[in-house]
Structure 1
Amino acid sequence: MMGGNDQQAYDRGTSLFSPDGRIYQVEYAREAVSRGAPSVGVRTADGVVFVAMSRPSSTLMEAESIEKLHKLDDHLGTASAGHVADARQLIDLARRQSQGNRLRYGEPVGVETLTKFVTDHIQENTQRGGTRPYGAALLIGGIDNGEPRLFAADPSGTPNEWKATVIGGGRSDIQGHLEENWTEELSLDAGVELAIAALAAHDDEFEPTDLAVATVTEADGYRTVPVEEVTEAFEAAGLTVEEDDEGDEEEGADADADDEATDADNEE
């Protein structure tokens, strides 16, 4: 009985180690991240690629309101997974630090420097009373002195540098695909195709419109990739874009004018 009560006490504590060296609340926060939609980051020879699954949960939801990729500075971007509100707080923190560095020192903040600033803040919430760990993970990537760099920050506050990685659900399948296919000579376009193909290794039932894609290069800085280019990369990755829904709607419109009006309203 006492053992069970002790276990429950460690489970409820936000900053206590269990006898086997675990902090349960951090592990629960990691579980929250793993239940989120995946986001992939790929470092290429030309820059950093971010691809995130941003599929609406309802046909009534505006797809543009789902924000998984964010610009931190001209040379910096981030992708998130997990609790959206938690991620937004970390993103705002990173933006303030990035802009403060420009005002204070007159130069852009380093990718590693910013990542460690954010992860230091995350780590504080694993050892202070009255707080809980952030239920979100970030990929932070950009250009540092002409060199592309990519970091991941998890709810424990650990910063790791990666060549390619994923946060969110389906990590095993997606990371396995990245490990098998990533190369040092990867171009930016090939990096986008690799990230899309890696997502498809876990779940291939998505369309180009279900993805958010951004790149960070020395020449163009942070850039949101338009859906037309995403579609081209989608097809180059060997995936097929479904087009039969539009045809079915047109046939239904010929048969019934009222159905046509309803379908049009739903598409908007």
Structure 2
Amino acid sequence: MGAGYDLSVGTYSPDGRVFQVEYAAKAVDNSGTAIGLCCKDGVVLGVEKLLASKMLVPGTNKRIYAIDKHIGMAVAGLVADARQLVKLAREQAEEWKQRWGEPISGMCLSERIAAYVHAYTLNWVYRPHGASILIGSLNPEDGSAPCLYCVEPSGSCSKYFGYALGKGKQAAKTEIEKIKPSELTCQEALFHAAKILHQVHDENKDKEYELEVTWICPQSDFIHQQVEYAAKAVDNSGTAIGLCCKDGVVLGVEKLLASKMLVPGTNKRIYAIDKHIGMAVAGLVALAQVEYAAKAVDNSGTAIGLCCKDGVVLGVEKLLASKMLVPGTNKRIYAIDKHIGMAVAGLVADARQLVKLAREQAEEWKQRWGEPISGMCLSERIAAYVHAYTLNWVYRPHGASILIGSLNPEDGSAPCLYCVEPSGSCSKYFGYALGKGKQAAKTEIEKIKPSELTCQEALFHAAKILHQVHDENKDKEYELEVTWICPQSDFIHQQVPPELLQEAEERAKKALEEAEED
């Protein structure tokens, strides 16, 4: 520990160290691996995405982003921090293009982001960013001058032939030095990126994972794009590496999957910044105040969300604090728009603030664009708002997590479920649970495979799960609150009719009694 010198980013220790910046860098070292390879004809970015849940939707929770057509960014570290840097990078790329009439270079973009990150290490009011990024780019005109930059939590910015971030960075960097990426084409470097990410993954310690790999090279017409077949070849990987080859740059990350219900392909760690620039990020942060906020969520009644094939079901266990409480009050599921519902867990006052914000954002979007907001856009906006409260010591993090369910209001297509947590992270799931019974609930959700059920069928399972995880010996009396968005509700977020909910509860209780007898 820093013996008091680690309480503020504005304090040096007697030996000249700034502990808060070192802690931020440690957060990056605890994340899945990300790599970047600068090749002779382009750049390859790769990440190891750790899957936090089996219910996470494949392809969500991205760690590689497109910043511009010629720029990609892979990230490592706290995902919410990384997304803020992705947003900044895209704004800087667009501003440069509007001002100068040409795409921004990887060098200029990297230096601008580094200056922004560095500013957060100077003022004790803020905390450093717990994320590092790899930016890959080339000349969008002819594909010349591929380059790879790394920006770290200290605000330092360096140019590399190849680099790695995350928990497997040391082993990955050793392998990168052996292959000499500047002498390889991106096609050749692709094999090495996959091999390195698989090699550094620790099956005994790490969670399940999938690989996310992108490139900017002749094969992609000098545009930052996903390498689909490479991702399949390396779908078991967590470190991030970058290789600067003689014809381009390769970025790769090992994305550890925290959940089997996480939607595949989410939790990105490589991002396109511009057509000729990509960014890979690495890192995972453990901020005490954010963890305490998450603990507030874990102490609340259970909330679940099931993304079915024809809609979404949201359900909560409402603990009754008083027998004098009017039935139906103290809501924990809210209508945000006709096609969007939100279930909350944690501190009710904090959650209501997020509900108010969500409704304002939905109304503003409708007035501005003349159409309803999507669940994805709404979730990302709320996540950005929540994340802002984790950066400044003046504020405290929100002690609430939310589940957002939505679908296309026109025809009921594309049902989706998102979760926004106190850290500001936002992920897409097939099914998820929050609150004190979340572990048991998530186990049951993984068994029923909600994406294969209709909302009518899922109603029984939702009631059964919520009754099953309730602890009668410890918890207060409770009532269930269940809503859905599906054909039965005309694709409008509505309370499940009382008679249907009662029938589902009776079936659930009977099934649980029979299971106990067996």
TM-score computed with the length of structure 2 as normaliser: 0.43
Give me the whole-angstrom Cα distance separating, in 2, the residues matched to 1:154 and 1:57: 25
Matches within 5 A, 1:44-193: 44-144=39-139, 146-193=144-191
- Any gaps of 5 or more consecutive residues in structure 1? 235-261
Structure 1 residues 180 and 12, CA gap change in structure 2 (3 angstroms): same
Moved more, 45-54 or 215-224: 215-224
Give me the whole-angstrom Cα distance separating, in 1, the residues matched to 2:171 and 2:32: 14
Matches within 5 A, 1:227-242: 228-231=229-232
Give the AA of the match of 1:58: S
Give me the whole-angstrom Cα distance separating, in 2, the residues matched to 1:266 and 1:53: 26
Higher strand fraction (1 or 2): 2
Match of 2:223 in 1: 221
Moved more, 143-152 or 157-166: 143-152
Q: Secondary structure of the equivalent of 2:55?
A: coil
Picking from 10, 27, 42, the partner of 1:15 is 10
- Per-residue CA deviation, residues 131-189 of structure 1 (Å, 9 max, x unaligned), is 01000000001103721000001100000101111111111111111111224320112
Number of residue equivalences: 235
Match of 1:212 in 2: 212
Structure 1 residues 232 and 88, CA gap change in structure 2 (3 angstroms): closer
Q: Secondary structure of the equivalent of 1:160?
A: strand
TM-score computed with the length of structure 1 as normaliser: 0.81
Give me the whole-angstrom Cα distance separating, in 2, the residues matched to 1:129 and 1:204: 37
C-alpha deviation, 1:191, in angstroms: 1.3
Q: Secondary structure of the equivalent of 2:225?
A: strand
Give me the whole-angstrom Cα distance separating, in 1, the residues matched to 2:151 and 2:65: 15
Q: Secondary structure of the equivalent of 2:65?
A: strand
Give the AA of the match of 1:174: A
Match of 2:449 in 1: 265
C-alpha deviation, 1:100, in angstroms: 0.5
Match of 1:29 in 2: 24
C-alpha deviation, 1:211, in angstroms: 0.5
Give me the whole-angstrom Cα distance separating, in 2, the residues matched to 1:144 and 1:223: 15
Picking from 36, 41, 47, the partner of 1:41 is 36
CA contact (8 A) 2:34 2:46 kept: yes
Match of 2:312 in 1: none
Q: Secondary structure of the equivalent of 2:163?
A: strand
CA contact (8 A) 2:27 2:131 kept: yes
Give me the whole-angstrom Cα distance separating, in 2, the residues matched to 1:88 and 1:121: 14
Give the AA of the match of 2:449: D
Q: Secondary structure of the equivalent of 1:57?
A: strand
C-alpha deviation, 1:232, in angstroms: 5.2
- Per-residue CA deviation, residues 5-39 of structure 1 (Å, 9 max, x unaligned), is xx533110112111101000000000000001111
Give me the whole-angstrom Cα distance separating, in 2, the residues matched to 1:22 and 1:192: 39
Give the AA of the match of 1:213: V
- Per-residue CA deviation, residues 184-237 of structure 1 (Å, 9 max, x unaligned), is 32011221211121122312659xx810011012633111111x3434578xxx
Q: Which has the higher contact order (CA 8 A, sep 6+)?
A: 1
Give me the whole-angstrom Cα distance separating, in 1, the residues matched to 2:70 and 2:135: 11
Give me the whole-angstrom Cα distance separating, in 2, the residues matched to 1:172 and 1:232: 23
Q: Percent identity?
A: 29
Give me the whole-angstrom Cα distance separating, in 2, the residues matched to 1:203 and 1:197: 10
CA contact (8 A) 1:54 1:63 kept: no
C-alpha deviation, 1:263, in angstroms: 7.8
CA contact (8 A) 2:198 2:234 kept: no
Structure 1 residues 56 and 216, CA gap change in structure 2 (3 angstroms): same
Give me the whole-angstrom Cα distance separating, in 2, the residues matched to 1:153 and 1:52: 16
Give me the whole-angstrom Cα distance separating, in 2, the residues matched to 1:39 and 1:31: 15
- Per-residue CA deviation, residues 73-93 of structure 1 (Å, 9 max, x unaligned), is 011000000000000001100
Match of 1:245 in 2: none
Structure 1 residues 11 and 232, CA gap change in structure 2 (3 angstroms): closer
Give the AA of the match of 2:174: G
Give me the whole-angstrom Cα distance separating, in 2, the residues matched to 1:117 and 1:169: 26
C-alpha RMSD of the superposition: 2.5
Give 1 or 2 for the bigger CA radius of gyration. Answer: 2
Give me the whole-angstrom Cα distance separating, in 2, the residues matched to 1:63 and 1:92: 23
Give the AA of the match of 1:169: K
